Structure 1
């Protein structure tokens, strides 16, 4: 009887320790669950990548299965598409990261009280974006020539036009991402990496627009990116440079870029007026 009583007594502290451990584990989990609940970008990020991957590669597979003649030229077209897409990605990320680095270092408040005008700040971010993009993309273009015998420079003069359109689109997305961060805080900083891929399935990067469902084709032609990649494929398939696609992309870029500048300046003005710039940082 005494042995049974001693065993029961001995297990009580162990039960209490286990219960305390469970409470501590629960506390850490609840902290992160509350953090997720208070930040919709974090929840969105969890669902984002699997959804984008299945949509993007589903369209690629569907296109290749129904266009066997494309496979003979697929290497050059796909490598060129990847390089052009990386210009867009680097332009947007270079802009957003330059802005985020000011937030992380808590320097944005100093800039706000300095003589620096908002449009001067934006121009500096765009120049830094271009520098970051060139540093990232130039070595990749030479590696494509070395390993795959695919030269992006074979596009000729249209390459400059494609580059400028993709840079402008990247800046547009970067401006909107930065405006969102100014409004909701650094909880939305993951959008700097996510947003650009949201338009990837309807940008016709690896396949033509007509492979998309009809209702998505309208959205694709409403983006400046789809005409750029359609124009790239037209050149690589010996159809020549299509001026109408370039004008289409340029006009959309001017429209969206103007709107994005307005949205950013509004968000910057509100954040500065409410003193939010001094509260952001790591």
Structure 2
């Protein structure tokens, strides 16, 4: 018997095995390789941060005097952006809570209809958004001497368009999770930020390259933020931007609703409503 064989008999299960470590790494690699949403999530944050802050830096460097004229422009942008983010997240997280608890199948053996469920998701999203944004907007008054409510009546239009756009994105995320399973869960936290660079949140659309400006102007969010800056910088209400935001929201809501209903129907056919969960 060789000395190595004797050692293996004495210690059949070594305290630390690189082979076992390698096997577990391979297992996790297979999980990652089999889910494109997980791959997307890995590359997403560094890329988005670089693009977003690169455009902010470019805008500030060339237009610092213009920015200084608009008191509260960044505070307003942050708060209104949070309306979009929380509107989308309110729909996605309420849906994910049903998935995590494996309760989705139980809901739909009841008389509950998909449209009623979606309306409830929208209602909960609105409640979450108000709870999250209103205290922050009130706190900005004593801290920075700026009130978001100084935007006046247009604020209601901005709020409505952003939260409706958030609901549309939420429906798309729900549809993707129903289609690809919980591997797409990470999309609930990254999809809305993928649109941040082309939503012109902190800088005007004109800062973007020409080809990217067309992408930006196809989003309701970009028109809302352009309208917000027109009020803060010029004191004028751009009704054209508001009209574009409303029209694009109607289009997006129709397309996203169709995508959701299709994915929901396919999930029912496959029996995924009962099988998908944490």
| Interval of TM-score (by shorter of Structure 1 and Structure 2) | over 0.9
SS at match of 2:197: helix
- 1 CA distance for matches of 2:37 and 2:199? 23
| Two-structure CA RMSD over aligned residues (Å) | 2.0
> 2:178 corresponds to which residue?
182
1:204 aligns with 2:200: yes
1:258 aligns with 2:272: no
Q: TM-score, normalised by structure 1?
A: 0.93
Q: Structure 1 residue runs of 4+, over 3 Å off?
A: 8-20
Residues 123-138 of structure 1 mapped to structure 2, 5 A cutoff = 123-138=119-134
Q: Is the 8 A contact 2:84 2:162 kept in 1?
A: yes
> Which string of whole-angstrom CA distances, capped at 9 and with x for unpartnered residues, describes residues 11-42 of structure 1?
95599866970111011111110100111111
> 1:63 corresponds to which residue?
59
SS at match of 1:277: helix
Q: Which has the higher helix share?
A: 1
Q: Is the 8 A contact 1:112 1:272 kept in 2?
A: no
Q: Give the superposition deviation at 1:68.
A: 2.2
The 1:257–1:21 alpha-carbon spacing in structure 2 relative to 1, beyond 3 Å, is: same
> 1:80 corresponds to which residue?
76
Worse-matched range after superposition: 44-53 or 11-20? 11-20
- Structure 1 residue runs of 5 or longer lacking an equivalent are 1-5
> 2:110 corresponds to which residue?
114
- 2 CA distance for matches of 1:66 and 1:274? 55
Q: Give the superposition deviation at 1:240.
A: 1.0
Give the greater-gyration-radius structure (CA): 1
- Structure 2 residue runs of 5 or longer lacking an equivalent are none
Q: Is the 8 A contact 1:225 1:249 kept in 2?
A: yes
- 2 CA distance for matches of 1:71 and 1:245? 20
| Number of residue-to-residue matches in the alignment | 276
Q: Is the 8 A contact 2:200 2:226 kept in 1?
A: yes
- 2 CA distance for matches of 1:254 and 1:172? 10
1:165 aligns with 2:157: no
Q: Give the superposition deviation at 1:71.
A: 4.0
- 2 CA distance for matches of 1:256 and 1:9? 67
- 2 CA distance for matches of 1:61 and 1:200? 15
- 2 CA distance for matches of 1:42 and 1:16? 37
> 2:22 corresponds to which residue?
26
Q: Is the 8 A contact 2:70 2:232 kept in 1?
A: no
